[in-house]
Amino acid sequence: GENVEQHPSTLSVQEGDSAVIKCTYSDSASNYFPWYKQELGKGPQLIIDIRSNVGEKKDQRIAVTLNKTAKHFSLHITETQPEDSAVYFCAASYTGGFKTIFGAGTRLFVKA
């Protein structure tokens, strides 16, 4: 069945450094890839997404890249801040499928 693998499971960086989280999906029909940030005690919040007709998308300190051939997509956070500390989930779905497959999550710690 469909699967999304996410690495690393835990990531610790110094404030100001960059953080990269990588995901791989299995279903070649997937064409929509959202990223969610979940802070302690809260629900997941959409932070950025990318569709398969685009290779890269950026929003301030956050960027996402997509390699359709390799079925890889990655989240890049630059100039990390303590408030970036959270669990990040990647996901994959396809138009009309209405089923989103989530990665296992990455717990990001940003040390001040």
Binding site for another protein (CB under 8 A): 32, 34, 36, 41-46, 49, 89, 93-95, 97-100, 102-105
CB-nearer residue toward another protein: 43 or 112: 43
Least spacing, CB of residue 100 vs another protein, in Å: 6
DSSP at 42: S
Residue 107 vs residues 29, 31, 56: alpha-carbon distances, Å? 28, 25, 23
Nearer to another protein by Cβ, of 78 and 97: the residue is: 97
Q: Minimal distance in Å, beta carbon 79 to another protein?
A: 25
CB of 7 to another protein, least distance (A): 13
Rounded distance between C-alpha atoms, residue 91 and residue 73, angstroms: 10
Residue 92 or 110 with smaller CB distance to another protein: 92
Q: Cβ–Cβ contacts within 10 Å for residue 75, how many?
A: 25
- In whole angstroms, the minimum distance from the beta carbon of 101 to another protein comes to 9
Closer to another protein by Cβ: residue 62 or 78: 62
Determine the distance from the C-alpha atom of residue 1 to the mean position of all C-alpha atoms in its chain, rounded to a whole number. 21
Q: How far apart, in whole angstroms, are the C-alpha atoms of residue 66 and residue 100?
A: 17
In DSSP terms, which residues pair with 7 in a beta bridge?
22
